[in-house]
Structure 1
Amino acid sequence: MKKIWRLIYSRVFIVLLLLLVTILTILWVVTSVATYFPAFLAFLQFFSIVIAISIVNRPMNASFKLTWILFVMGIPIFGALFYFILQSNIETRRYRKNFQKQAKLLKEYGHTSYKVMSGLGKKDKEQLKLANYMSEHVGYALHANSDAKYYSSGEAWFEDLLTDLRQAKNHIFMEYYIVDFGYMWDTILEVLKEKAAQGVEVRFMYDGMNSLNTLPYSYYKRLREMGIKAKVFSQIIPALSTIHNNRDHRKITVIDGQIAYTGGANLADEYINRIERFGYWKDANIKVTGEAVANFTLMFLQMWNFDEKTENRDMAYMEEHYERESDVVESDSYFLAYGESPFDNDAVAKRVYLDMFQSAQDSIDIMTPYLVLDDEMQESLIYAAKRGVKVRILLPHIYDKQMPYLVARTDFELYLKAGIEIYEFLPGFVHSKVVLVDGQMASVGTVNLDFRSFYLNFECGLYIYNHKQVMADITRDFEESLAQSERITLLGFRKHYPWYKRAAGAVMAMVSPLL
């Protein structure tokens, strides 16, 4: 009984209740008007056709088009009405306008220097394709004169993160999707308070989804009282808007413009296995130092300023990066930190992965918690396997959510028939987002292989080329993880995967692009 009352008085229940009231009110108004004015009903039917035609002609992924058309035509009249309300929402338009403004800064500071492009061209001309696309069309510069360290577990990453935070002299920028009370966050918060008291500029930003179940709604005000500059991205409110489906899924720490961290781990105890939720929580993170840190600084400042109404001097941090850059390429390793935005009309993270898959000659190794791909991504992986590339995918054995588990398995037979090897990590949950190709290029970051990461969320990652130590560490991590995993065979999958799960997955797959 206590659990029921706790649910009723929870923020999640209140928000959902208010949303339901809003939807029911719209339905009541439309039904009432149609009852007294039959012509209005005919107009709405015509309106549904117009909406369906507009969806077909919109520049969006085909999977999204199909899902929206099913929604609009499957719920006569009301489907089109809700689509129109969601897409024309003022808040969504404001966010899009603000981020398009911020995107101009990316292109201003995101051009790769001639010395770096020239050095890469001498090393491997094939790599110039991705570097040119990012530099000239998106705004993320390729960098050299940098170093990186790979972490195969959240525990090892957390230890180094604390050490570097304690040594900060000038500024600390942190941006995370999930923050939850416990040992991890309490320890970090003590360091941030101490640094703020010492005069270090500390900025902390977290996603508004936390306000539903982990943090108090106005927790950012408490952080400000501690001397920390704090912001929340897109607080959850009971309003019909697609903006609530665009979350800040990035995990970024920048320290003094010299060190940056990214990866799968959020700031909660399960990510360092202080508590157990889904068996052993396996997460990968990476630390980068040197010139490549500049892109992470730029990404953080872009998100930080998404709601700023006045000009500020934040771009002075980017000028400092340029002042520190060397005129000479002193290494043969290259680094490209990149971000994904749902408002730039360009699936950047997806392009990175596609470029890697298409350039693979020998092997593609993937760690991901979710595997829900569109046709283009599927075809790229399947074609790689059919042309002789060894493709291995490591997934969790214990899932955190049923829906991605069921949807992923709707395509297992397709992958297995093509020769793709699928493994499940028996000790628990794989939350790592890692792609390794030919033992020579890799991406580590926050990007899952699903629609949400490629199209709906703000994401980030670090693409690395020709860093021998990082490649060796990632290779070792894969081999050690696969040794603890069970391989899924076509015969075994057909025999042991029940029909009702297949049916549930097939139904969920139809709406998965929007969820």
Structure 2
Amino acid sequence: MEKIWHLIYSRTFIILLLLAVTVLAIFFGVTYAALLMPAVLLALQIFSIIVAISIVNRPMNASFKLTWIIFIIGVPIFGALFYFILQSNIETRRYRKNFQKQAEKLRQYGHTSSKLLSVLEKEDKDQLKLAHYMSQHVGYALHGNSDATYFPSGEAKFEALVEELRKAEKYIFMEYYIVDFGYMWDSILEILKEKAGQGVEVRFMYDGSNSLMLLPYNYYKSLREFGIKAKVFSQIIPALSTVQNNRDHRKIAVIDGRVAFTGGVNLADEYINQKERFGHWKDAAIMVKGEAVANFTLMFLQMWNFNEKTENDDLKYLKEHLESEKEIVDKDSFFLAYGENPFDKDEVAKRVYLDMIQSATDYIYIMTPYLVLDDEMIDNLTYAAKRGVQVKLLLPHIYDKQSAYLAARVDFETYLESGIEIYEYTPGFVHSKVVLVDDKKATVGTVNMDFRSFYLNFECGLYVYNHKQVLWDILVDFETSFAVSEQITLEDFRNNYPWHKRLAGSLIAMFAPLF
């Protein structure tokens, strides 16, 4: 009973209640007006047809179109009105405008040097395509003269992050999706407070969804009292707006412009197995040093300044990166740190994944906690398997969300029939977001294999080409994980997966593009 009362008086319950009241008020208001005035009903029906036609003709992923059309048909009149309210939201337009402004401002720092491109052309002409796209159309430069270390667990990443934070002399930039009280965050916070006291510039940014259940609503003000410059991205408020569905899912730490971290590891105890939630928590991260750090600095500043109303001198950090770049020394390894921005209408993370899948000749290994894909991604993965590429997927055995478990299995037969191998990590939950292809290239970051990461969230990752040690370490991690996992066969899945779970998964997957 105490838990029930705690839930009722929580911020999450209040916000959801107010949103529900708003939706119901619109629904009953529209219904009442339509019943009393036939002309209003006719106008709304015509309006619904116009909205449906506009959705069909919008430059939007087919899965999103289908979901919205089903919603409009399933909830006549109200569905179209709901879509219109969300899409015409002033806040959405403001976010898009601000991020476009930031992108243009920072674009000059995202061009790959001609010398590096010429080195890459001699190494592998096919890699020029991705580098060209990122540099010319998105604004993320390819870099050499860098080194990286792969961490196959949250514990390993945490240890290295603490060590590097203690070395900070000029600045620390951190941007994380989840922050929760406990050993991990307490340990990091103590270092941040200490460094801020020493005169190191410390900036910390976290996603507003933390304020629902994990952190106090104004926790960023508490951090400021320690001398830490703190911000929260997009606080959750009881209002209908699509921007509340666009979360900052990135995990970035940049220290003195010399080292950066990314990967799946958030700042909470389950990520380092100090607290058990879903069996053993399998995560991964990567640390990069050298010129490739520049893109992570750029990504952080883009998020930090997207709603700043006054000019500042933050470009100095990017200028420092440019000034420190030197003639190409390391001609073998290349790094490309990239970000996903849901407001730029360009699915950057998805294109990175597709580029890797389409170029594979030997194998494709994928670790992901969630597997809910659109037709294009499914077609590319299954075609890779059908043309003889070994495709292996590593998924959780213990899921954090039942809905994710059910939705992932909707397309299992399609994958298995094409020859894709599916493994479930028996010890617990896989939260790693890693793709490895042909002993040549890999990406490690925050991007899940689902609609939310490809279309709705702010994400980031590090694309690694031809760094032998990192690629070997990732391969060892995959092989070690496969060895303790259970392989799902087509026969077992057909015979043992119950029909009611298939039905539930199909319904969940139908609306997955929206949530």
TM (norm. structure 1) is: 0.99
CA distance in 2, matches of 1:12, 1:222: 21
CA deviation map 1:443-475 (0-9, x unaligned)? 000000000000000000000000000011001
CA shift digits 1:239-274 (9 cap, x unpaired) = 011111100000000000000000000000000000
Separation in 2, partners of 1:505, 1:28: 30
1:225-374 correspondence to structure 2 within 5 Å: 225-374=225-374
Q: CA deviation at 1:168?
A: 0.0
Whether the aligned pair in 2 keeps the contact of 1:52 and 1:73 (CA below 8 Å) is: no
**Kept after mapping to 2: 8 A contact 1:442/1:471:** yes
Q: Distance in 2 between matches of 1:130 and 1:8?
A: 50
One-letter code aligned to 2:11: R
What corresponds to 2:136 in structure 1? 136
Q: Give me the whole-angstrom Cα distance separating, in 2, the residues matched to 1:391 and 1:310.
A: 49
Moved more, 290-299 or 65-74: 65-74
Distance 1:374 1:135 in 2: 26
Q: Find the counterpart in structure 2 of residue 77 from structure 1.
A: 77
Q: Does 1:213 align with 2:213?
A: yes
Whole-Å Cα distance in 2 between the matches of residues 40 and 415 of structure 1?
48
* Superposed counterparts of 1:18-167, under 5 Å: 18-167=18-167
Mean Cα deviation higher: 505-514 or 28-37: 28-37
Aligned position for 2:451: 451
Is this contact kept in 1: 2:371–2:450, CA < 8 A?
yes
> Structure 1 residue 60: deviation in Å?
0.6
The residue aligned with 2:433 is 433
1:11: which partner in 2? Answer: 11
Judged with a 3 Å threshold, the aligned counterparts in structure 2 of structure 1 residues 106 and 388 are, in CA distance, closer, same or farther, namely farther
Corresponding residue SS for 1:323: helix
Question: How far apart are 1:405 and its partner, in Å?
Answer: 1.0
Measure how far apart 1:34 and its partner are: 2.6
Give the counterpart letter for 1:2 in structure 2: E
Counting matched residue pairs gives 515
Show CA shifts across 1:160-207 (max 9, x none): 100100110000000000000000000000000000000000000000
Indicate conservation of the 8 Å contact 1:171/1:201, yes or no: yes
SS of aligned partner of 1:392: strand
Q: Secondary structure at the match of 1:296?
A: helix
Distance (Å, rounded) in 1 between the aligned partners of 2:489 and 2:409: 12
Q: CA deviation at 1:92?
A: 1.1
In 2: Cα distance, 1:289 partner to 1:204 partner: 20
Per-residue deviation at 1:355?
0.4
User: For the residues of structure 2 that align with 1:298 and 1:246, how far apart are their CA atoms?
Assistant: 20
Alpha-carbon distance in 1 for matches of 2:423, 2:106: 38
Counterpart AA for 1:38: P
SS in 1 for 2:486: strand
Match of 1:125, SS?
coil
Q: Is residue 369–residue 433 contact of structure 1 (8 Å, CA) maintained in 2?
A: yes
Q: What amino acid is aligned across from residue 115 of structure 1 in structure 2?
A: K
> Residue in 2 aligned with 1:481?
481
For residue 36 of structure 1, report the CA deviation from its aligned partner. 3.5
* Cα deviation digits, residues 262-292 of structure 1 (max 9, x gap): 0000000000000000000000000000000
Following superposition, the deviation at residue 32 of structure 1 comes to 3.2
Tell whether the 8 Å contact from 1:453 to 1:459 is kept in structure 2 after alignment: yes
Find out whether 1:198 has 2:214 as its counterpart. no
Percent of aligned positions that are identical:
74
- Report how far residue 35 of structure 1 moved: 3.7
1:463 aligns with 2:463: yes
Give the Cα separation in 2 of the matches to 1:265 and 1:494: 35
The question of whether the paired residues in 2 share the 8 Å contact of 1:106 and 1:138 is answered with no
Separation in structure 1 between the aligned mates of residue 505 and residue 157 of structure 2, nearest angstrom: 35
Return the offset for 1:310: 1.2
Q: Secondary structure of 2:169's partner?
A: coil
Gaps of 5+ in 1: none
Aligned to 1:382: 382
CA offsets per residue over residues 53-86 of structure 1, 9 Å max, x none?
A: 0100111100000001111121001001111111
Q: Distance in 1 between matches of 2:314 and 2:158?
A: 28
Distance in 2 (alpha carbons) for counterparts of 1:480 and 1:105: 44
Once the 2 structures are TM-superposed, how far is the Cα of residue 28 of structure 1 from its aligned partner? Answer: 3.0
Q: Distance in 2 between matches of 1:3 and 1:462?
A: 42
Answer with 490-499 or 175-184: which moved more.
490-499
Using structure 2 for the length normalisation, give the TM-score. 0.99
CA RMSD of aligned residues (A): 0.8
Letter of the 1:73 partner, please give it: I
Whole-angstrom CA distance in 2 between matches of 1:429 and 1:106: 37
Matched, 1:491 2:496: no
Match of 2:408 in 1: 408
For structure 2, the 5+ residue unaligned runs are none
Would the aligned equivalents of 1:372 and 1:408 in 2 still touch at CA under 8 Å?
yes
Q: 1:11-46: CA deviations, max 9, x gaps?
A: 111001111111122123223333442211110111
Give 1:122's aligned amino acid.
Answer: K
Shift in Å at residue 107 of structure 1?
2.1
Shift of 1:339: 0.2
Structure 1 position 93, deviation (Å): 1.1
d(CA) in 2 for partners of 1:221 and 1:421? Answer: 48
Q: Secondary structure at the match of 1:414?
A: helix
Partner-residue secondary structure (3-state), 1:237: coil
The equivalent residue for 1:392 is 392
- Cα distance, 1:311 vs. partner? 1.1
Contact 1:278–1:400 under 8 Å retained in 2: yes
Shift of 1:330: 2.8
Amino acid at match of 1:208: G
What letter is aligned with 1:439? D
Asked if 1 retains the 8 angstrom alpha-carbon contact of 2:252 and 2:300, the reply is yes
Contact kept, 8 Å, 1:154 with 1:284, in 2: the verdict is: yes
Q: Helix, strand or coil for the counterpart of 1:328?
A: coil
